[in-house]
């Protein structure tokens, strides 16, 4: 009987740990990751600033759509210019698509003219699972008090065609503009589209 209760509690905790995906309105779970320059970043250190988390895999056709069209870089430049912290996170496991060494990461960043605050390496997939990130690109917007205010897709055109960027409704832009203006995000949750995050197992 006792073991049954224990195993149930263990299961409940496990289940809770598995489904800790932060929903809009909830506290963003804290984490520490090293970036492509070897520098360590802790989410809670950015308190007071608006933070964007962007799951990244340059091999994914959906990510390519937003980088080849210059859409993602434009967003990164515009909002880092407005004192927003933009963290691109690579959760691909070693040997899987999107995984790169620090040097390769920086080289690709230069080639693509990407302008995030930092590209964080998450090869264990710990932070990816902490946020229950399923696809690339998948985006989270966290406000100055550390609350998730947006989670989901970059825009409403589910495709791999760069031509679809024009005319699409950009949910991240909308969430950032509203948050920076001190307003409530009108569409705090959408369904992200893209390639699966390439976790180890």
Partner 1 sequence: MRALLFLALLVSPLAAQTYQGKKLVEASLVADTTAIVPGRPFRLGLHLRMAPGWHTYWENPGDSGLATTFDLELPAGFEAGPVSWPLPQRLVEPGDIQVYAYRDEVLLVRTVTAPVTEAREVEFRAKSTWLVCEAICIPGKAELNLALPVAPDAEPANAELFTKFTALVPSGQAPPFALEWSRTSTGWNLSIRDAEGAKRADFYPFADNEHPVGHTAPSQISDGSATLAIPVADSAPVRGVLAVDNGERRGWVVESKTTISSPATQTPGGTTGFWTYLLFGALGGFILNLMPCVLPVISLKVFGFMRQAGDSRSAILKHGLAFVGGIFFWFLGLAAVVIALKSAGSEVTWAFQFQSPWFNFVIGAIVFLFALNLFGVFEIVLPGRAAQGIAEAGSHGGLAGSFTQGILATLLATPCTAPFLGTALGFAFAQTPAVIFAMFGAIAGGMAFPYLLLAAKPGWMKFLPKPGAWMERLKQFMGFPLAATLLWLLYVIGQQRGTEAVIWASASYLCLALAAWLYGAFLGPLSSTRAKTFAALGIALSLFVGLGYFAGNLFARTTIAAAEKSSPAQAGGISWIPYSEAKLQRLLAEGKPVFLDFTADWCITCKFNMRTAIDTAAVREGFARQGIVPMLADWTNSNPEITRKLARFGRVGVPFYLFYPAGRANDPVILPEILTEQIVLRSVGITDNTHRP
Task: Give me the residues that bind partner 1 (CB under 8 A), please.
Answer: 18, 59-62, 93, 96-97, 125, 128-129, 134-135, 156, 158-161, 189-191, 193-201
CB 170, CB 185: distance < 8 Å: no
Task: Give the nearer residue to partner 1 in terms of CB position, either 31 or 79.
Answer: 31
Task: Give the nearer residue to partner 1 in terms of CB position, either 77 or 129.
Answer: 129
Nearest distance, CB of residue 15 and partner 1, angstroms: 11
Nearest distance, CB of residue 80 and partner 1, angstroms: 27
- For residue 20, what are the CA distances in angstroms to 5, 26, 200? 22, 10, 19
Task: Give the nearer residue to partner 1 in terms of CB position, either 21 or 180.
Answer: 21
Nearest distance, CB of residue 197 and partner 1, angstroms: 6
For residues 4, 5, 7, 10, the Cα torsion angle rounded to the nearest 10 degrees is 170
Task: Give the nearer residue to partner 1 in terms of CB position, either 134 or 173.
Answer: 134
Instruction: State the distance between the two ends of the chain, measured CA to CA, in whole angstroms.
Output: 33
Nearest distance, CB of residue 182 and partner 1, angstroms: 25
Cis ω for the linkage preceding 166 (within 30 of 0): no
- Per the structure block, which two tokens stand in for 188? 């705090």
Cα separation, 41 vs 118, whole angstroms: 9
């Amino acid at each position: 009987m006792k073991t049954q209760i224990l195993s149930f509690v263990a299961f409940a905790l496990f289940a809770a740990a598995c489904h800790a995906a932060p929903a809009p309105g909830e506290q963003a779970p804290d984490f520490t990751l090293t970036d492509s320059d070897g520098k360590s970043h802790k989410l809670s250190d950015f308190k007071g600033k608006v933070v964007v988390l962007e799951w990244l895999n340059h091999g994914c056709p959906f990510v390519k759509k937003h980088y080849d069209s210059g859409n993602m870089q434009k967003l990164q430049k515009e909002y880092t210019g407005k004192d927003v912290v933009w963290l691109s996170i690579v959760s691909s496991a070693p040997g899987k698509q999107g995984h790169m060494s620090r040097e390769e990461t920086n080289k690709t960043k230069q080639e693509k003219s990407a302008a995030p605050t930092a590209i964080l390496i998450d090869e264990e997939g710990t932070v990816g699972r902490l946020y229950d990130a399923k696809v690339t690109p998948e985006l989270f917007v966290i406000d100055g008090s550390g609350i998730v205010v947006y989670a989901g897709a970059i825009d409403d055109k589910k495709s791999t065609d760069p031509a679809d960027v024009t005319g699409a409704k950009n949910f991240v832009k909308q969430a950032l503009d509203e948050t920076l203006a001190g307003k409530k995000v009108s569409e705090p949750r959408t369904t992200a589209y893209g390639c699966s995050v390439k976790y180890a197992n």
